[in-house]
Amino acid sequence: MLRHNHCQWLFCVVRHYSRISPPRPVTVKPVIRVSNNIAYLDAPNRGPKPRQLLSLPPFPSHPLPAKKSVSIPGQPARVTAISWVKYYFSEMWDSVIQSHFREGLVQMEDPIFDESSIPKEGQMRPMRKIKPNDVMKPGARVHAPVSIVETRISKRYDTIPSGTLYPNADEIKYLQRLVKHKDSAIIVLNKPPKLPVKGNLPVHNSMDALAAAALSYDYDEGPKLVHRLDRESSGLLLLGRTNDSVAYLQWLFSDINKAKSSCKAWNDACESTFQRYWALVIGTPKEREGLICAPLSKVLLDDGKTERVILAHQSGIEARQEAITEYRVLGPTINGCSWIELRPRTSRKHQIRVHCAEALGTPIVGDFKYGWFVHRQWKQTPRVDIEPTTGKPYRLRRPEGLDVQKGSVLSKVPLLHLHCRELVIPNIAKFMPVLSKRAEEPHASKISQPDILRFVATMPSHMRISWNVMSSYLV
């Protein structure tokens, strides 16, 4: 019996890594061509290349902040398709988005509703081309080619503050340029890579110290961190401006039940809270999408000082922390790598990095802490991959003048390709009087404000370079 249990335990801890095999080449018959009165056999004309589509999240039922809506007498306000796309890709030029609509490249999947006007889960109508003024319905998904998010790449790498104890005028202006949203309760900024969030004594240029000194604005004290990002990662970072807002937001990210109150609108907004990350991983998961439920443990290495997060074993004696992450593959495997989207349901240290490396067997590019063994075997030189529809080899495109040695996927030592792309949180400034029990309903001047705030941040330079090098040639 003991031997049987031991074998069962070994079976549970075996890690399965993805194996990528290109499809068989498609054989095509040659055609006869005539040139200068000479007939010869040649390959048929190449058709249009397959488009790699990005699917936006299902359209929410609540209005978008700071976006105009279509008002029809006797009906609630509505949001057009182009407003939803512009809001989700806020960093893109309007002319680029409009041109994609004009050329009919933007498509939509409409949900199928039941008799009670509730969308049927997982049931969608076939994709159809849409116009800019088409009205969005709750649950509808918009699909657009990757060219809609291609931006000009700056040759100058993202700068970070120099590391002085008290930031100077240039550093203050730099930090204020990172701010995407500011109200009476919170500040949201787009953190660059290689900037530590929480600093110890020798670290002077950490985000908490710089924000306290440079982002106080008209308040007596600077904002405080609500959640953390790794030093090497980038993306949306949330800070609270008052003690009350910090307390409620920390409860929201740690235990949602603590943040709930008697206000139904606030509770509904809390349920809608999530973070969405984009990452470039080596390999591709076996399933295109799924849910990772793998608890984590912390262990000390042989030096007795370095802490490491690992997947918790059922028979282990270490303390276990529940960790859940949703994931979805964004496109095909290109040069041995895949872009994936991750949505953590719990907030554990290094949760996404460990789940990608250990649970999926696809470590994030640039994550040498949890994926060093795979990086040693990974060939960063371009290799031939096969298009599944035509059987032709893919062709990597390197834009002229593009410096790929800036931490991108082709550099010798790439930076971490993990970015907090999207953040959805309750509008705490609207509900603060209700939460502090100073009022039973939000103030009349804030009734028209949205219950939920949604933010989207552009990727840092090294990830945009990797995106252009590995994705743009498919369009």
- For 94, other C-beta atoms within 10 Å of its C-beta total 9
* Known catalytic membership, residue 42: no
Residues linked to residue 237 through DSSP beta bridges, in sequence order: 189
Interatomic CA distance for residues 237 and 206, integer angstroms: 13
Among residues 230, 268, 385, 451, the one annotated as catalytic is 230
Residues identified as active-site: 230
